[in-house]
Amino acid sequence: MKRLLRNNIFYVIIVMLISSCSGTKHLPPGEKLYVGSKVKIEATEKIRNKGKITEAAKSVIRPEPNASFLGIRTKLWLYSIAGNPTKKGIRSWLKSQGEPPVLMSTVKPAQTAQYIDAALFNTGIFNGTADYKIIEKKHTVKVIYTCHVSNPYTIKDVSFNLGNNAFTKLIADAQKETLIKPGIDYDLDVLKNERERIDGVLKDNGYFYFSPDYLLFKVDTSQATKTVSLQLTVKEETPEKALMVYTIDNVYINPDYSLNEGKDTLKKEHERLVVDSVIFLDKNTKVKPKVILESVYLKPGYTYSRKNHNITLNRLMNLGVYKFVRVKFNPSKTDSTKLNMIILLTPMPKRTLRAEGNIISKSNDFVGPEANVSFRNRNALHGAELLNLNLAGSFETQFSGKYKNLYSYSVNPQVELYFPRFIVPFRIKKTSSLYVPKTKFSIGYNYLKRIGYFDLRSFQFIYGYKWKESITKEHELDPVNVNFTSVVNKSPEFNTLLESNPFIKKSYEEQFIAGVTYSYRYNEQVLPLKINQFYFNLLTEAAGNTFSALNSIGGKKISADQPFSIGGTPYSQFAKISVDARDYYNFTNSKIALRLFAGVGKAYGNSSTLPYVKQFFSGGPNSIRAFPINSLGPGSFLQPRTSDAIFIQQGGDVKLESNAEYRFDIFKFLKGAVFADAGNIWLLKNDPAVTSPPFAFDRFYKEIAVGAGVGLRVDVSFFVLRFDLGVPLRKPWLPENERWVVNKISFGDPNWRSDNLILNVAIGYPF
């Protein structure tokens, strides 16, 4: 009886909270809250593309109702309880975070029905009509719009009446790319897009002053066959200059333009510099003229092309040394068919110094400060080279708890130099890419001190290339990636630990890694208007094969038991591949984010195990958040949480992980999340110190760890502070029939909370 009463009270409280947040308590007298609309399609025949027609009708419905989540209108509630504050304070702040009620008096359903009629007409439904019905409740109103439609008219054929032979030939040659094909439904948006496409073709062939508004589609309908014949013409009022082909006369470049100048100052003759027929208005250019000209795709005598115009703009901005780039075209004073091109370059500050500090809190309860100081020179060698000097350091410990006396610190200096071009021993043909390729040289050193255990010293050198195929596709190739790692000053306790686990001992041996890495990234998040955004990252790596090939020339047998060395240090030989796929589905005030990660690495030849820095780990703030950092696996193995092993996690050769997260807005800068994570790591062969067997397709799914939780994020666009609270739902190290632990959740038990609640504090989103 008590339990029933307690549950009823709980449900009453939930209902009261929902009703209090519904936002209907503080409406003006006689008003009702508009909660949205619905579109219904009615027809006497089977309608094709019904979803498209519905979306066309919805697109013109105004206004939007107040935002809600599970029926709770949080922003409206905040606006209402804030009242009418007369001065700044908490009530004024609450008012700014909320939104005013959308009242029925602001909704014009009769007018909206007319807009829907027009939208239907634009989709080829020339005789469609819409009516509406108002559904009223005690405090709310909803509108249902019913569209009476038939199937859209289809396009029968397209003809041209352009009069200009040059026009006709250009458009005819580009008809393979036309958007208008016989048999498709008539759609005004398609016609508009086709005009834009044709305008682009003309712009790329010298018609600088042409506009898509000068093109006109004449429509002839047939009621009998419900088809449309289109004729493309040029409007009679089109100005003469829009029908002329223009070439480039002179190209002027102002390499040090200031926005404060107010006008394009053409300096005196003796202050200018001419390079490859291009006139630099200031001979004292900070960036070498030839470097600038590599990104200029319009030169004197060239026919104007909007494509080359855009390439010039994008590549000059991609050099990374200019804050603003502006390209202007003025009529030539000597020839009415020519244009003068003026490029105005506003430099960014050449040198910047930045320092930042963070407090890092890990899910294994280790906390500490982290600092990073960086110096940047954007024109280091006067060829738009980017020089980065970075110095990072961190310290972590437990201020209370069972590992109170353990701590570690690290120091990481790094030097990076990027060149805005490919540096290769052979000639590369100039491409028409919008993006500037980059060559990278990087040298880094990392010193890690685990007090009472070991010192780790790591040196890395990278020589590689980065280039973008398009705004969404990016490649990175490092043909030279060298890493030398040594572990020194090992304590007796650490040596004892290594002797108990040969697999970890092999991972911590002094090793020389030299190989090739390649990554391909496809990212639709750079397309902000896309509702469904996909992300894909492929990373491959191979090391040691060149050295093994050289060693085997003389008939030498490569073996991990007696490995060959470089300078006295055994080199690693392995191959590794990983795939990271994500999908983001965006709603008005929320988002669903899904992620799948799969990776495998295999040591062979000169090595028996993957180097420690190349192994996979699972658990932590960017992984499975219900488990401490790097604590999961391999398989059903439970890593020891003793003071001797807290700094030395067991890695794996295989990793599978999936994450799902629902993200929603609470206030302007405060976001919430509900998430679920699953995954683990595995070894590919037996390790005597690991009780779990190697990865197997018929068993791995039984060893998946599962966790879920809630999150809170402070998102101020340039900075995201994230708090994620995770709870384990499945523990793979337990006996097979006891691994699901949902029935053991007990938030009221302090011992359960101490062992199971994991708070992750991190910077940025997990994926």
Q: Tens digit of pLDDT for each residue in 1-50?
A: 434 434 444 344 444 444 445 567 778 888 999 999 999 999 989 999 89
DSSP structure class, residue 118: H
537, 753, 724: which is closest to 622 by C-alpha? 724
Other beta carbons less than 10 A from residue 295's beta carbon? 21
Q: Could you give the CA distance from residue 107 to residue 135 in angstroms, rounded to a whole number?
A: 13
With pLDDT > 90 as the criterion, what percentage of the chain qualifies?
Answer: 63
State if pTM tops 0.85: no
Token pair listed for 43: 């027809």
pLDDT in tens, 620-670: 999 999 999 888 989 999 877 665 555 667 889 999 999 999 999 887 788
Q: Using pLDDT thresholds of 50, 70 and 90, give the confidence band for residue 403.
A: low
Helix (H) / strand (E) element for 331: namely strand 322-331
Beta-sheet strands, E only, within 350-509? 351-361, 367-377, 386-397, 407-419, 438-450, 454-468, 473-488
Q: Could you give the CA distance from residue 396 to residue 394 in angstroms, rounded to a whole number?
A: 7
Calculate the alpha carbon distances from 489 to 332, 333, 763 in Å: 74, 77, 33
Assess contact for 673 and 635: CB atoms under 8 A. no
Tell me how many degrees the CA angle 191-195-200 measures, rounded to the nearest 5: 145
pLDDT in tens, 302-351: 999 999 999 999 999 999 999 999 999 999 999 999 999 999 999 999 99
Rounded to 5 degrees, φ, ψ at 104 are -65, -25
Q: In what order do the strands lie in the sheet with 227-234?
A: 154-161, 227-234, 215-222
Least confidently predicted of 246-250, 451-455, 602-606: 451-455
Domains of the chain are: 2-148 (no CATH), 154-243 (3.10.20.310), 247-347 (3.10.20.310)
184, pLDDT greater than 60: yes
293, pLDDT greater than 90: yes
Peptide bond before residue 628 is cis, with ω within 30 degrees of 0: no
pLDDT at position 26: 72
Give the mean pLDDT of 729-744.
Answer: 94
